[in-house]
């Protein structure tokens, strides 16, 4: 179970724009069938088979996310820089000189109810009650002046903690959020976009120490049979074994949080080029990154998921690359590499977070009122926090209603962990040049939301 990017305008007109390449060929001659492998060969050396630590390939933004997270071959000028910068050149025919876009998105995944179990544990107040009983016993303030009754109170409190710890053991959660501002400037020859984004992905783990369970068992047993002694007799002189009080301050169990927040400034540039006699759009997104890792461990009795603890800042530079091909029969194909250079960050607690290159391919097809898209990650990515690895297959379809509104549905399947797959849905509307888009995704353990607003001058 936490955090990232930009959006709107995956309109049907953008999907139907076709640069030179297959326009002059007979649509029935199998143009796409003969050329669809071109893009894969351009980036063959970039494929990775081993799992990699990485940020999400793309942000939770409403247009693409409603379509199952697809965008490598179907992104518009407003979100091409986050999926495949080459799409800026593919969409060069869009009639807009300036397209500013504001985006918000979030994801919350807690299939094991980690935070609920921690908050429930804190709400019961069993640790304060336990420590108070220990303090009174150690000071000789016995219940009804009877040490046996004080020991019974300690045993009950220790047993309450002991029974709750295993319920929380080794549970993980994840959160993700993003916000971004994008300005796209489509042009017949010069296609570019600027983006400023803030993203966060992180998770938490409830780490229960085996020694805590052993010591709590001892507290229950010794309090019950009258062997529990006050703190000044904590060490048996004959055996050297603890026989005294074991308070919550002695617990080694911890709530651990870890993740990465990034602030990125990216400049995406794309153009159409002739490669082996074929017109292919190629794009690049160099980006400056302020990466802030967070890594901390807190007592379970006072813990919460926070991104401002154990912080460490790093500056980095990275590059995204992409290529795309349009065919005269409505088909498109694309391939993109995110974080080509890759980064390594060492957290304040000494853990390493690696952001490695990610490769994704996509195919889309647009008709007059309907468009469909498919994206596939070619490598696996391990979570930055504590959750399962990911390798997404995205499927999406949209229906354009008279160029005024759009209905979208999709499914994002995690091939590495089916329980994290989500169904998605979205809606878009245009009013006098302003476009609003909303999207949501969910399964029984997760909920994702995104919204954006854009204006075409």
Residue 372 lies in a domain: yes
Residue 263 lies in a domain: yes
Is residue 35 very low, low, confident or very high in pLDDT (cuts 50, 70, 90)?
Answer: very low
Is residue 378 very low, low, confident or very high in pLDDT (cuts 50, 70, 90)?
Answer: very high
> Mean pLDDT, to the nearest integer, of 182-190?
77
431: pLDDT strictly greater than 50? yes
Percent of the chain with pLDDT over 70: 81
Task: For 414-445, give one letter per residue: b (16+ CB within 10 A) or e.
Answer: bebeeebbbebbbbbebeeeebbbbbbbebeb
> Mean pLDDT, to the nearest integer, of 397-405?
89
Is 264 found in the same domain as 158? Answer: no
Is 287 found in the same domain as 359? Answer: yes
Residue 7 lies in a domain: no
| CA distance linking residue 132 with residue 138, whole number of Å | 10
* 70 vs 28, more confident: 70
Question: What pLDDT, on the 0 to 100 scale, is given for residue 270?
Answer: 92
| CA distance linking residue 199 with residue 265, whole number of Å | 12
Question: What pLDDT, on the 0 to 100 scale, is given for residue 58?
Answer: 73
2: pLDDT strictly greater than 80? no
299: pLDDT strictly greater than 80? yes
Q: Are 212 and 251 in contact (CB under 8 A)?
A: yes
For 170, 199, 203, 293, 376, the CA distances from 386, given in Å and listed in that order, are 10, 18, 6, 14, 23
Is 154 found in the same domain as 229? Answer: yes
Least confident of 13-17, 79-83, 339-343: 13-17
| CA distance linking residue 303 with residue 312, whole number of Å | 20
Least confident of 114-118, 211-215, 380-384, 407-411: 380-384
Is residue 206 very low, low, confident or very high in pLDDT (cuts 50, 70, 90)?
Answer: very high
Is 355 found in the same domain as 403? Answer: yes
Q: What angle do CA 150, 151, 152 make, to 5 degrees?
A: 90
**3-state DSSP assignment of residue 379:** coil
Percent of the chain with pLDDT over 90: 52
Is residue 393 very low, low, confident or very high in pLDDT (cuts 50, 70, 90)?
Answer: very high
Domain count, the chain: 2
Q: Are 205 and 118 in contact (CB under 8 A)?
A: no
51: pLDDT strictly greater than 60? no
Beta strands 381-382 and 52-53, pairing class: parallel
pLDDT, the chain, mean? 82
Is 395 found in the same domain as 432? Answer: yes
**Bridge partners (DSSP) listed for residue 174:** 109, 203
Domain of 442?
A: 12-112+171-208+253-455
Q: Are 430 and 408 in contact (CB under 8 A)?
A: no
Residue 3 lies in a domain: no
């Amino acid at each position: 179970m936490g955090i990232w990017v930009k959006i709107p305008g995956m309109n049907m007109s953008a999907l139907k724009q076709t640069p030179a390449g297959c326009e002059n060929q007979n649509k029935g001659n199998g143009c796409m069938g003969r050329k669809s492998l071109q893009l894969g060969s351009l980036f063959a050396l970039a494929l990775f088979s081993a799992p990699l630590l990485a940020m999400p390939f793309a942000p939770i933004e409403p247009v693409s996310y409603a379509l199952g997270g697809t965008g490598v071959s179907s992104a518009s000028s407003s979100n091409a820089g986050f999926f495949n910068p080459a799409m800026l050149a593919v969409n060069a025919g869009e009639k807009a000189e300036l397209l500013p876009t504001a985006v918000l998105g979030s994801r919350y995944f807690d299939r094991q109810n980690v935070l609920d179990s921690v908050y429930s544990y804190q709400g019961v107040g069993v640790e304060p009650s336990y420590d108070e009983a220990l303090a009174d016993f150690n000071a000789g303030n016995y219940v009804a002046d009877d040490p046996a009754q004080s020991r019974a109170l300690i045993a009950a409190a220790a047993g309450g903690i002991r029974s709750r710890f295993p319920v929380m053991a080794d549970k993980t959660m994840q959160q993700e959020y993003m916000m971004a501002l994008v300005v796209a400037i489509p042009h017949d020859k010069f296609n570019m976009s600027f983006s400023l984004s803030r993203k966060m992905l992180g998770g938490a783990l409830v780490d229960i120490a085996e020694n805590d369970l052993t010591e709590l068992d001892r507290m229950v047993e010794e309090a019950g049979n009258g062997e529990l002694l006050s703190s000044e007799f904590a060490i048996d002189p004959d055996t050297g074994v603890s026989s005294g009080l074991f308070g919550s301050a002695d617990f080694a169990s911890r709530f651990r949080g870890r993740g990465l927040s990034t602030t990125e400034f990216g400049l995406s540039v794309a153009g159409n080029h002739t490669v082996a006699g074929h017109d292919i759009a190629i794009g690049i997104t160099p980006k400056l990154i302020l990466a802030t890792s967070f890594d901390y461990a807190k007592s379970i009795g006072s813990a919460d998921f926070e991104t401002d603890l154990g912080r460490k800042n790093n500056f980095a530079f990275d590059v995204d690359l992409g290529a795309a091909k349009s065919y005269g029969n409505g088909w498109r194909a694309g391939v993109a590499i995110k974080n080509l250079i890759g980064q390594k960050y060492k957290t304040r607690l000494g853990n390493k977070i690696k952001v490695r290159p990610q490769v994704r391919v996509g195919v889309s097809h647009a008709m007059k009122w309907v468009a469909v898209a498919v994206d596939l990650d070619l490598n696996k990515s391990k979570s930055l926090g504590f959750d399962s690895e990911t390798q997404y297959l995205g499927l999406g379809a949209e229906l354009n209603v008279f160029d005024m509104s759009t209905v979208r549905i999709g499914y994002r399947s995690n091939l590495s962990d089916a329980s994290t797959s989500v169904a998605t849905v979205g809606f878009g509307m245009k009013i006098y040049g302003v476009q609003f888009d909303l999207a949501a995704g969910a399964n029984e353990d997760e909920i994702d939301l995104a919204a954006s607003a854009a204006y075409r001058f």
